[in-house]
């Protein structure tokens, strides 16, 4: 009864996604270093970091929710990943659609915040506050971009969107969806927590925000989660706007392309304050999103 092929695929994709996610994080750091004319860490540095954190001999906890938060976050990231069509591996994606995936991609945030809040640290609380406000701010343009996409393709199913793109050309070739892509890319910056929207962690301001109290295996979990999330989000982008992929290599190229855009943007912009970010998101991206949406009605 159990579909062993699917099980194997799931395990394989999970390992691949985790690994590639870490590599993406490495690429992020490396590319940033190169832009700043530094040598930069090795590209597998995030894996080392995570191993080190996992190898901490001590671990503290502020209570059950503090432990549960990272676990929940990582679990949710994995769940989200399973619903995204990764190249020719469909996994569960025929059973859920864009809205479900979009929501699943938001759940990890709740996990992180649950843990962060239960630590009782004011920096964490500030981080949570900023994270939520960023989400509030970005959700409107984000939603509009997704709506434009759905309206254009006439379906909610990611797998169908991919299939349609294979036959009718990528989303970004459609003018309206190109506008939507611009909006989505701006939002993407905030989703990845990169400048100019890295308000959540803001290392120099609020000591890593929600992460401040995490160490050891908790932090390792969050790192792994971040890797999976990064992989899932870039794949999501690629699936939505760049025509998906027929094999992992193609997907990888598209993901890295997406990632590099994010890195380039991040490396030249300073950070917004939170109210500036909110005002910004409610201004240009929203207007562009509305244009995109109205073009696709």
- Indicate which single residue of 6, 178, 215, 248 sits in contact with another protein (rule: CB under 8 A): 215
Find the part of the chain contacting another protein (CB under 8 A) among 99-107, 183-191, 249-257, 259-267.
99-107
In the complex with another protein, which residue's Cβ is closer, 245 or 292? 292
What number of chain residues touch another protein (CB under 8 A)?
115
**Nearest-5° Cα angle at 26, 142 to 223:** 70
Tokens of 271: 């950070």
> Rounded CA gap, 283 and 129, in Å?
21
For residue 58, how many C-alpha atoms fall within 13 Å in the half-sphere facing its CB?
1
Least separation in angstroms between residue 35's CB and another protein is: 11
Least separation in angstroms between residue 47's CB and another protein is: 8
Under the criterion CB under 8 A, does residue 98 sit at the interface with another protein? yes
Under rule CB under 8 A, which residues in 244-263 are in contact with another protein?
none
Under the criterion CB under 8 A, does residue 113 sit at the interface with another protein? yes
- Indicate which single residue of 40, 90, 163, 248 sits in contact with another protein (rule: CB under 8 A): 40
Under the criterion CB under 8 A, does residue 78 sit at the interface with another protein? yes
CA-CA distances (angstroms) from residue 197 to 103, 185, 263, 297? 20, 12, 12, 30
Under the criterion CB under 8 A, does residue 89 sit at the interface with another protein? no
Under the criterion CB under 8 A, does residue 125 sit at the interface with another protein? yes
Under the criterion CB under 8 A, does residue 143 sit at the interface with another protein? yes
Q: Which residues contact 124 (CB under 8 A, 6 or more apart)?
A: 116, 117, 209, 210, 211, 212, 213
Under the criterion CB under 8 A, does residue 72 sit at the interface with another protein? yes
> Rounded CA gap, 173 and 162, in Å?
14
In the complex with another protein, which residue's Cβ is closer, 52 or 246? 52
> Rounded CA gap, 181 and 10, in Å?
29
Report the DSSP beta bridge partners of residue 89: 86
Under the criterion CB under 8 A, does residue 142 sit at the interface with another protein? yes
Find the part of the chain contacting another protein (CB under 8 A) among 187-195, 216-224, 242-250, 261-269.
216-224
- Indicate which single residue of 1, 5, 37, 270 sits in contact with another protein (rule: CB under 8 A): 37
Q: Which residues contact 155 (CB under 8 A, 6 or more apart)?
A: 97, 161, 164
> Rounded CA gap, 48 and 52, in Å?
6
Under rule CB under 8 A, which residues in 180-209 are in contact with another protein?
203-204, 207-208
**Nearest-5° Cα angle at 11, 9 to 17:** 95
In the complex with another protein, which residue's Cβ is closer, 71 or 257? 71
Under rule CB under 8 A, which residues in 147-186 are in contact with another protein?
147-148, 150-151, 154-157
Under the criterion CB under 8 A, does residue 43 sit at the interface with another protein? no
The answer to whether 70 and 112 have CB atoms below 8 angstroms apart is: yes
Least separation in angstroms between residue 7's CB and another protein is: 10
- Indicate which single residue of 12, 103, 249, 264 sits in contact with another protein (rule: CB under 8 A): 103
> Rounded CA gap, 202 and 198, in Å?
6
> Rounded CA gap, 157 and 135, in Å?
24
Under the criterion CB under 8 A, does residue 266 sit at the interface with another protein? no
């Amino acid at each position: 009864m159990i579909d062993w092929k699917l099980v194997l695929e799931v395990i394989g994709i999970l390992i691949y996604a985790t690994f590639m996610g870490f590599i993406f994080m490495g690429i992020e750091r490396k590319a940033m270093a190169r832009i700043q004319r530094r040598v930069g860490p090795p590209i597998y540095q995030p894996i080392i970091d995570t191993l080190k954190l996992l190898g901490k001999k001590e671990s503290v906890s502020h209570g059950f929710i503090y432990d549960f938060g990272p676990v929940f976050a990582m679990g949710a990231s994995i769940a989200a990943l399973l619903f995204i069509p990764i190249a020719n591996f469909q996994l569960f994606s025929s059973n859920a659609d864009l809205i479900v995936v979009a929501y699943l991609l938001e759940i990890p945030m709740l996990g992180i915040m649950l843990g962060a809040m239960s630590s009782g640290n004011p920096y964490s609380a500030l981080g949570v506050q900023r994270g939520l406000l960023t989400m509030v701010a970005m959700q409107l343009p984000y939603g509009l971009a997704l709506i434009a996409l759905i309206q254009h393709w006439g379906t909610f199913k990611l797998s169908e969107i991919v299939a349609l793109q294979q036959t009718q050309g990528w989303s970004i070739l459609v003018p309206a969806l190109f506008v939507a892509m611009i909006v989505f890319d701006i939002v993407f910056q905030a989703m990845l927590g990169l400048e100019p929207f890295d308000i959540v962690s803001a290392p120099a301001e609020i000591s890593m925000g929600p992460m401040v109290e995490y160490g050891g295996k908790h932090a390792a979990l969050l790192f792994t989660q971040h890797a999976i999330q990064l992989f899932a989000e870039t794949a999501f982008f690629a699936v939505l706007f760049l025509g998906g992929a027929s094999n992992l290599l193609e997907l990888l190229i598209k993901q890295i392309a997406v990632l590099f855009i994010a890195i380039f943007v991040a490396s030249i912009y300073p950070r917004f304050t939170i109210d500036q970010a909110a005002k910004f998101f409610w201004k240009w991206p929203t207007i562009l999103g509305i244009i995109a949406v109205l073009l696709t009605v």
